[in-house]
């Protein structure tokens, strides 16, 4: 089964014959200490304690691993139980210290994403900025590491990926019939046509737009393309790397003459990764991602755009002060971000309003409606407006989130949903203090996210390692062997009964989506013509829309460019279904108190019931309160079901997108037919083909098929969960039996490692208590410290 296989591949304890693999080298102390430079001293202390706990745990695991390897090295065959243990130890030793925290800066042209990243990393002109024009042309990831130099990796489209785009670009520019003057003028003004011509000329030179696909395949590109499809740039200083990087990531002007070799391969660039050395402002483990607002015409770049949004655990919607109160683009960005909470890993969404220093004081005072307090300076006006924006948009954003997400979603508990920032004032401080620009608040937020994630990761890591050492030490223990199998047999029967109950609970949980799905399908059937009509109409009629519509059809209903709002016909006509199911869907995958419609708490309740049964059997079986068997089983259950949660979150996206994917597949023939249309009145003829094709598919049950496919995806998820639970827990119970079947043999004595691990496990509570004390002291000192001086009045 596909879903089950995906999860098993990710599991924490595969039995692998290659048990003699060398674990990774340990990180040097000096390198580890560099990771904390971005944190104040109190936060550094907490991080160092967690890092020390993790490091000592890895050392204990490594020593245990080496002892076990030595004890079985000369054996002809290694029992399955020992293989299991050795591979579990190796997996934990090689487990990354921390998965990166991706923070997506998601905004439209000129919103100030690059300027904001520059301010956060304290490098004023590092990424290209240029007022209102489009600057950053692709996804750019910025992180810090332990490297000595500034480094950038520019990833290019593969040869096959470029050929696919080239084929679509030439189709877009192909005219089969002569057009009259008016139609030809409209064709030339089409946004998709302009962009296609620009790309081909940039890559192949002037006149490339008049060549067909086969001719361009034989043509030689103007720029040199590395065979690795990766360009690596390095520099000692930030400014030096910035100069080298600029031509690759800055959107090139269409009237540019004498372009450089770097700009000539610009159409091939997929995404860019920038690594800063040992940053004092952005901690290692955090990745800031500059995400263009609309996606891309190239399939691979557009797929990466969506996946990048979905892998972000935090999304900051960036909007400048003059655009925040209106416009379709801003609303689309907010909606896309909220969808990321539904289908992806996003747990936090905030609106970051930029350029808040821009204010015309006389106009503001004339239109001001806030109380009677006198405003005497530009600074006071800016601060007052910032507070009003926060109040207004906190309410608006919370309402939008509440309409799509469950009422107890964690994102709704956030104290800060809106930030008002000014990067210009951050550098100049003519009106505002550094604190009032709110750049330090964003940095503080980043640090807090990383510290919280590190705390959770180390707690889970040490607890899981302790369970493994309990099992290892129990291999040479013969406690209560006569009664062991009797009680293990009873536990197996109990597990089977609980798995059946879990299956029923999952069915009941998923059943809550059925009625909203049916209602959504009915809504979609009654509204799709109106929605489709709105998508196919442009304010200037068909002028400049002819080839853009063709581009939509070439990409199966989706078109994204840097100049137009994203067009997605499949998503638009399924939106009534999503409007109906979104709160229920979010409820199924949320964490919190168990309810009939919530999946993860049912799994947590299943885990608790198993652990309680193990405690009960431990008492009956004469196990001591802290016995090996009981503790191992409890810890291993947590590890198994913890991996299950990750699996569920990965599958969530596939389930959520199954509606639009189904509709897109059903409409593919009509898109292909429309894409072939050229000549006179082509735009109207394409629209007619699309309308008739959608009508036909709706009559044949297109929305109902989408409903069935989503329900099938839910069923696959249930099957994947239950199959994994059955297999993993059965294996665990067999391995926990300490006699018979030749599973085990006498192994090396690891009592000293067990005692060390027991000490580390007890230290978790002490480290957590220290962190609480430090936070209290830090808050006290902040309250007692004098305020920073404000800039002079202006």
- Of 252, 644, 704, 740, the residue nearest 518 (C-alpha): 704
- Of 411, 294, 442, the residue nearest 349 (C-alpha): 411
pLDDT in tens, 586-606: 888 876 555 667 888 888 888
Number of alpha carbons in the 13 Å side-chain half-sphere of residue 694 = 27
CA distance from start to end of the chain: 68
At 417, give phi and psi (nearest 5°): -100, -15
Q: What confidence score (pLDDT) does residue 98 get? A: 84
483 contacts: CB under 8 Å, gap ≥ 6: 621, 622
The mean per-residue pLDDT over the stretch 490-495 comes to: 78
Structure confidence at residue 435 as a pLDDT band (50, 70, 90): very high
Q: For residues 1 and 748, which has the higher predicted lDDT (pLDDT)?
A: 748
Per mean pLDDT, which range of 236-240, 261-265, 761-765 is the poorest?
A: 261-265
Contact 734, 743 (CB under 8 A): yes
At 49, give phi and psi (nearest 5°): -65, -45
Kindly state the tokens that stand for 658: 């199954």
The mean per-residue pLDDT over the stretch 621-635 comes to: 59
Number of alpha carbons in the 13 Å side-chain half-sphere of residue 307 = 8
Q: Is 715 exposed, middle or buried (0-12, 13-18, 19+ CB in 10 A)?
A: middle
Element (H, E) at 341: helix 328-343
443 contacts: CB under 8 Å, gap ≥ 6: 38, 120, 281, 282
Answer yes or no: is pLDDT of 676 > 80: yes
Element (H, E) at 31: helix 29-34
Q: What confidence score (pLDDT) does residue 482 get? A: 44
Answer yes or no: is pLDDT of 784 > 70: no
pLDDT in tens, 145-169: 878 899 999 999 999 999 998 998 8
Contact 623, 630 (CB under 8 A): yes
Structure confidence at residue 204 as a pLDDT band (50, 70, 90): very high
Q: Which of 400-414, 452-466, 623-637, 739-753 has the highest mean pLDDT?
A: 452-466
pLDDT in tens, 254-311: 554 555 556 678 889 889 999 998 777 888 889 999 988 777 777 778 888 888 888 9
Strand boundaries in 474-559, DSSP class E: 558-559
Per mean pLDDT, which range of 396-400, 625-629, 638-642 is the poorest?
A: 625-629
Single pTM value for the model? 0.85
The mean per-residue pLDDT over the stretch 684-695 comes to: 95
Q: What confidence score (pLDDT) does residue 136 get? A: 59
Bin 309: left if φ > 0, else alpha if -120 < ψ < 50, else beta. alpha
Q: For residues 376 and 462, which has the higher predicted lDDT (pLDDT)?
A: 462
The mean per-residue pLDDT over the stretch 536-562 comes to: 77
Strand boundaries in 135-208, DSSP class E: 139-145, 150-156
Query: In angstroms, how far is CA 320 from the centroid of its own chain?
Result: 24
pLDDT in tens, 82-137: 777 888 899 899 988 888 999 999 988 788 899 999 999 999 888 887 554 455 56
Element (H, E) at 316: strand 314-320
- Of 662, 689, 653, the residue nearest 673 (C-alpha): 689
348: three-class secondary structure by DSSP: strand
pLDDT in tens, 19-58: 445 555 554 555 555 566 667 777 888 888 888 999 999 9
Number of alpha carbons in the 13 Å side-chain half-sphere of residue 770 = 15
Structure confidence at residue 621 as a pLDDT band (50, 70, 90): low
Computed over every residue of the chain, the mean pLDDT equals: 81
Evaluated on CA atoms 10, 15, 21, 22, the torsion sign reads positive
In whole angstroms, what is the distance from residue 283 CA to residue 10 CA? 27
Percent of the chain residues past pLDDT 70, beyond the cut = 78
Q: What confidence score (pLDDT) does residue 790 get? A: 55
Neighbour count for residue 716 (Cβ, 10 Å): 17
The mean per-residue pLDDT over the stretch 223-227 comes to: 89
Answer yes or no: is pLDDT of 763 > 60: yes
758 contacts: CB under 8 Å, gap ≥ 6: 466, 469
pLDDT in tens, 317-356: 999 898 887 667 778 888 888 888 888 788 899 999 999 9
Q: What confidence score (pLDDT) does residue 260 get? A: 59
Answer yes or no: is pLDDT of 60 > 90: yes
SS (H, E, C) 441-480: HHHHHHHHHHHHHHHHHHHHHHHHHHHHHHHHHHCCCCCC
The mean per-residue pLDDT over the stretch 550-562 comes to: 87
Kindly state the tokens that stand for 210: 């008049």
Answer yes or no: is pLDDT of 523 > 90: yes
In whole angstroms, what is the distance from residue 597 CA to residue 585 CA? 9
The mean per-residue pLDDT over the stretch 366-395 comes to: 86
Distances (CA, A) of 535 to 303, 335, 549, 567, 576: 22, 17, 10, 8, 15
79: three-class secondary structure by DSSP: coil
Would you state the torsion angle of the CA atoms of residues 427, 430, 432, 433, taken in this order, to the nearest 10 degrees?
A: 60
The mean per-residue pLDDT over the stretch 231-255 comes to: 83
Q: For residues 485 and 771, which has the higher predicted lDDT (pLDDT)?
A: 771
Structure confidence at residue 681 as a pLDDT band (50, 70, 90): confident
Q: For residues 181 and 122, which has the higher predicted lDDT (pLDDT)?
A: 122
Answer yes or no: is pLDDT of 379 > 90: yes
The mean per-residue pLDDT over the stretch 75-82 comes to: 73
Structure confidence at residue 683 as a pLDDT band (50, 70, 90): confident
Per mean pLDDT, which range of 97-101, 147-151, 391-395, 741-745 is the poorest?
A: 741-745
Q: What confidence score (pLDDT) does residue 1 get? A: 43
Number of alpha carbons in the 13 Å side-chain half-sphere of residue 735 = 26
Q: What confidence score (pLDDT) does residue 32 get? A: 54
Residues 677-686: contacts with CB under 8 Å, at least 24 apart:
677/550, 678/174, 678/175, 678/176, 678/177, 679/175, 679/176, 679/177, 679/179, 680/177, 680/179, 680/180, 680/183, 682/546, 682/550, 683/542, 683/545, 683/546, 683/549, 684/542, 686/549, 686/550, 686/553
Q: What pairing do the DSSP bridges indicate for beta strands 314-320 and 150-156? A: unpaired
């Amino acid at each position: 089964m596909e879903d089950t296989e995906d999860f098993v591949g990710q599991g924490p304890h595969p039995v692998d014959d290659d048990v003699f693999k060398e674990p990774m080298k340990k990180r040097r102390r000096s390198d580890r200490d560099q990771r904390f430079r971005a944190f104040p001293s109190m936060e550094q202390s907490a991080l160092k304690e967690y890092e020390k706990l993790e490091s000592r745990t890895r050392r204990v695991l490594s020593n245990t691993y080496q002892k076990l390897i030595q004890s079985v090295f000369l054996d002809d065959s290694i029992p399955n139980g020992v293989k299991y243990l050795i591979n579990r130890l190796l997996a934990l030793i090689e487990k990354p210290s921390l998965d990166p925290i991706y923070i997506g800066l998601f905004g439209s042209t000129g919103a100030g994403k690059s300027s904001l990243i520059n301010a956060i990393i304290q490098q004023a002109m590092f990424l290209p900025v240029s007022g209102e024009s489009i600057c950053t042309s692709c996804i750019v990831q910025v992180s810090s590491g332990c490297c000595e130099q500034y480094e950038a990796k520019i990833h290019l489209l593969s040869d096959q990926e470029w050929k696919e785009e080239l084929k679509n670009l030439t189709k877009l520019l192909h005219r089969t019939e002569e057009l009259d003057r008016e139609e030809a003028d409209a064709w030339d003004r089409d946004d998709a046509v302009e962009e296609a011509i620009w790309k081909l000329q940039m890559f192949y030179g002037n006149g490339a737009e008049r060549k067909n696909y086969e001719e361009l395949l034989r043509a030689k590109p103007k720029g040199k393309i590395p065979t690795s499809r990766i360009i690596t740039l390095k520099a000692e200083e930030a400014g030096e790397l910035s100069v080298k990087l600029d031509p690759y990531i800055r959107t090139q002007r269409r009237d540019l003459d004498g372009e450089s070799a770097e700009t000539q391969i610009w159409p091939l660039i997929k995404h860019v990764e920038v690594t800063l050395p040992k940053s004092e402002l952005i901690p290692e483990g955090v990745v800031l991602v500059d995400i263009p607002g609309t996606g891309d015409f190239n399939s691979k770049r557009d797929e990466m755009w969506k996946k990048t949004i979905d892998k972000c655990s935090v999304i900051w919607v960036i909007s400048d002060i003059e655009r925040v109160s209106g416009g379709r683009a801003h609303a689309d960005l907010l909606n896309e971000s909220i969808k990321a909470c539904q289908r992806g890993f996003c747990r936090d969404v905030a609106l970051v309003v930029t350029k808040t220093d821009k204010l015309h004081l006389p106009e503001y005072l004339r239109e001001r409606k806030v109380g009677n307090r006198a405003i005497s300076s530009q600074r006071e006006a800016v601060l007052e407006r910032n507070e009003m924006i926060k109040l207004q948009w906190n309410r608006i954003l919370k309402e939008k989130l509440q309409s799509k997400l469950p009422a107890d979603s964690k994102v709704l508990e956030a104290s800060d949903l809106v930030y008002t920032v000014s990067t210009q004032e951050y550098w100049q401080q003519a009106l505002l203090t550094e604190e009032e620009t709110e750049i330090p608040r964003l940095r503080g937020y980043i640090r807090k996210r990383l510290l919280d994630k590190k705390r959770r990761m180390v707690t889970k890591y040490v607890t899981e390692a302790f369970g493994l050492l309990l099992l290892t030490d129990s291999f040479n223990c013969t406690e209560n062997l006569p009664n062991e199998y009797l009680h293990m047999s009873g536990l197996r029967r109990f597990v089977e009964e609980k798995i059946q109950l879990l299956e029923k609970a999952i069915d009941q949980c998923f059943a809550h989506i059925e009625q909203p799905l049916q209602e959504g399908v009915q809504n979609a059937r009654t509204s799709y013509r109106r929605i489709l009509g709105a998508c196919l109409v442009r304010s200037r009629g068909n002028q400049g829309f002819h080839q853009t519509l063709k581009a939509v059809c070439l990409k199966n209903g989706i078109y994204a460019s840097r100049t137009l709002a994203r067009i997605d016909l499949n998503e638009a006509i399924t939106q009534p279904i999503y409007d109906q199911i979104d709160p229920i869907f979010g409820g199924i995958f949320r964490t919190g108190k168990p309810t009939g419609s919530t999946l993860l708490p049912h799994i947590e309740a299943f885990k608790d019931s198993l652990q309680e049964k193990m405690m009960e059997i431990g008492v009956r079986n004469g196990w001591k309160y802290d016995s090996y068997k009981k503790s191992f089983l409890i810890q291993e259950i947590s590890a198994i079901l913890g991996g299950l949660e990750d699996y569920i979150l990965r599958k969530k996206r596939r389930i959520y997108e199954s509606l639009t994917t189904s509709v897109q597949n059903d409409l593919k023939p009509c898109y292909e037919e429309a894409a072939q249309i050229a000549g006179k009145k082509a735009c109207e003829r394409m629209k007619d083909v699309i309308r008739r094709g959608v009508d036909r598919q709706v009559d044949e049950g297109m929305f109902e098929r989408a409903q069935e496919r989503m329900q099938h995806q839910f069923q696959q998820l249930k099957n994947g969960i239950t199959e994994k639970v059955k297999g993993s827990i059965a294996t665990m119970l067999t391995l926990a039996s300490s006699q018979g079947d030749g599973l085990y043999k006498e192994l090396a004595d690891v009592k000293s490692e067990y005692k060390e691990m027991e000490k580390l496990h007890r230290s978790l509570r002490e480290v957590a208590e220290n962190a609480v004390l430090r936070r209290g002291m830090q808050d006290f000192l902040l309250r007692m410290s004098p305020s920073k001086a404000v800039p002079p009045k202006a």
